[in-house]
Amino acid sequence: MTTDLATPDPAAATRAAAPPLAEPSGWHEIRLTVDGASVTAQVESRLLLSDFLRDRLGLTGTHVGCEHGVCGACTVLLDGEPARSCLTLAVQCEGAELRTVEGLAPGDAPLTPVQRAFHECHGMQCGFCTPGFVMTATALTEQPQRPDAADVADALSGHLCRCTGYRNIRRAVCQALDERFAGGPAGRGE
């Protein structure tokens, strides 16, 4: 069987002319809290949370690396839990409390223990991965009991860093945990 590429396919022409598949409701109003501020926005069904934060709210501190849930750079806290903003739709955040790296120490506020630990332990080089690590580490320090070394390793395993070799990142996280849970098990993770 041969195909004459020069002859238009009537069925294909019909498909091309058809409107995109209809969505029941393409736009939604969402209300949420972002870094302590109330936000109301109209968002498309398919808008990613990472794009909403960066493009609509200008919160470019949340980085986007792989865009498919592998690198962890886009991690934010969604109702206190780390979430990949590149795998989360903005509409899913209706009523949620979102925290980004930019809300940790706004303006002239002092650095949080996690941020300070990353600085003091040289837990970053280019810094591209750092917002994600910092948000996951922040969630670890906010747990009611100190996570053990295995918990820390498990949490950090969801983040990729091309620069540091991870050692100083683990030191930073453990320093922050030491400060938060003074006297707890060390679990240096080295």
Does 170 help bind ligand FES (rule: CB under 6 A)?
Answer: no
Are the beta carbons of 159 and 72 closer than 8 angstroms? yes
Does 162 help bind ligand FES (rule: CB under 6 A)?
Answer: yes
* Contact residues for 37 (Cβ-Cβ < 8 A; gap 6+): none
User: In the numeric block, which tokens belong to residue 135?
Assistant: 């948000």
Q: Which of 59, 90, 124, 156 binds ligand FES (CB under 6 A)?
A: 124
Amino acid at 116: R
Q: 36 — alpha (psi -120 to 50), left (phi > 0) or beta?
A: left
Does 71 help bind ligand FES (rule: CB under 6 A)?
Answer: yes
Q: How far is the CB of 124 from ligand FES (least distance, A)?
A: 5
| Per-residue binder mask for ligand FES (CB under 6 A), 85-114, x = binder | -x----------------------------
Q: What are phi and psi of 81, to 5 degrees?
A: -110, 140
Does 39 help bind ligand FES (rule: CB under 6 A)?
Answer: no
Residues pairing with 40 in the sheet: 31
* Pure H helices in 36-166: 49-51, 113-120, 130-141, 149-156
Q: Which of 54, 84, 99, 171 binds ligand FES (CB under 6 A)?
A: 84
H or E element, residue 178: helix 167-180
CA proximity to 51, closest of 75, 85, 76: 85
Q: Which is nearer to ligand FES, 41 or 87 (CB)?
A: 87
Q: Which is nearer to ligand FES, 62 or 141 (CB)?
A: 62
Q: How far is the CB of 171 from ligand FES (least distance, A)?
A: 14
Stretch that binds ligand FES, among 4-12, 60-68, 110-118, 149-157 (CB under 6 A): 60-68
Q: Which of 13, 126, 150, 186 binds ligand FES (CB under 6 A)?
A: 126
Does 125 help bind ligand FES (rule: CB under 6 A)?
Answer: yes
Amino acid at 44: E
Residues that bind ligand FES (CB under 6 A): 64-67, 69-74, 84, 86, 124-129, 161-164
